[in-house]
Amino acid sequence: MITIGVLALQGAVREHVKALAAPDVQVVTIKHTEQLETIDGLVFPGGESTTMRRLINQYGFFDPLIAFANQRKPIFGTCAGAILMASEIVGQTEPHLSVMDMTVERNAFGRQKESFEVMLDMKNVAPDIEAVFIRAPIIQSVGANANILAAYEGQIVAAQQGPFLACSFHPELTDDDRMHQYFVQMVRESVKQVHH
Ligand code: GLN
């Protein structure tokens, strides 16, 4: 059995819990920092990154989240969650958690249209991933250690760096749980490595 947490300070939490479901997975919603000690992987949902950051500070999550990432336990951030993970945010002097080498630009997609849906060819996952973008960031660039998993209109929209996975869109808002199940597999592998 592995345990995956969904940070539940703000945003679409329930949808992530559903998409992570598997017979060997226990999913918990994370509202207190102590809970981080009980999980093998963590999801940062979408929402509003500035609000989420404010709540992270308010509930004392900042240092515990950095410590969690330093243990190299898998983290999956979607949309605002990806912004939290970035090492650089265009137009801001400071990033948030800076767990992944990537530069993101907020609200960079669909300025005309608030949201849209497209099909993406996702490396390592599937060639036909349905992706819902809502005031989404683009990943402007990733570091040499990161792998680009998908692009849309020439812009990076999904990337992975070791145990860290980030995407601009909301895989939790479709019935297609393959992105989440890819992350579940990352968590399984990580737990296996720790135990050997
Ligand atoms: N625009 C939001 C932000 O900057 C992200 C939007 C989302 O998560 N759907 O945090």
Each residue's pLDDT tens digit, 25-38: 999 999 999 999 99
Each residue's pLDDT tens digit, 85-131: 999 999 999 999 999 999 999 999 866 578 999 999 999 999 999 99
What does the pLDDT read at residue 110?
Answer: 65
Each residue's pLDDT tens digit, 41-83: 999 999 999 999 999 999 999 999 999 999 999 999 999 999 9
Q: Is 49 within any annotated ligand binding site?
A: yes
Q: Which atom of ligand 1 is nearest to the CA of 78?
A: 8
Q: Is 114 within any annotated ligand binding site?
A: no
Asked if residue 4 has pLDDT above 70, the reply is: yes
ipTM of the complex: 0.94
What does the pLDDT read at residue 125?
Answer: 98
The Cα angle at residue 121 between residues 120 and 123, in degrees rounded to 5: 130
Local structure of residue 179 (DSSP, 8 states): H
Range of the domain at 148: 2-195
What does the pLDDT read at residue 183?
Answer: 98
Burial class from Cβ neighbours inside 10 Å (0-12, 13-18, 19+) for residue 21 reads middle
Q: List the beta bridge partners of residue 28.
A: 5
What does the pLDDT read at residue 166?
Answer: 98
What does the pLDDT read at residue 194?
Answer: 76
Q: Is there a catalytic annotation at residue 170?
A: yes
Total number of domains in the chain: 1
CA distances from 169 to 1, 7, 17, 155, 194 (A): 28, 17, 17, 12, 30
Quote the ligand 1 centre to 79 CA distance (angstroms): 6
Q: Which amino acid is at 144?
A: A
* CATH code: domain of residue 113: 3.40.50.880
pTM confidence score: 0.96
For a ligand 1 pocket test, name from 44, 49, 105, 116 the mutation site with the most ligand atoms within 8 angstroms of its C-beta. Answer: 49
Q: What is the DSSP string of 20-75?
A: T--TTEEEEEE-SGGGGGG-SEEEE--S-HHHHHHHHHHTT-HHHHHHHHHTT--E
Residues with CB under 6 A from ligand 1: 46-49, 79-80, 83, 106-107, 134-135
Each residue's pLDDT tens digit, 122-160: 999 999 999 999 999 999 999 999 999 999 999 999 999
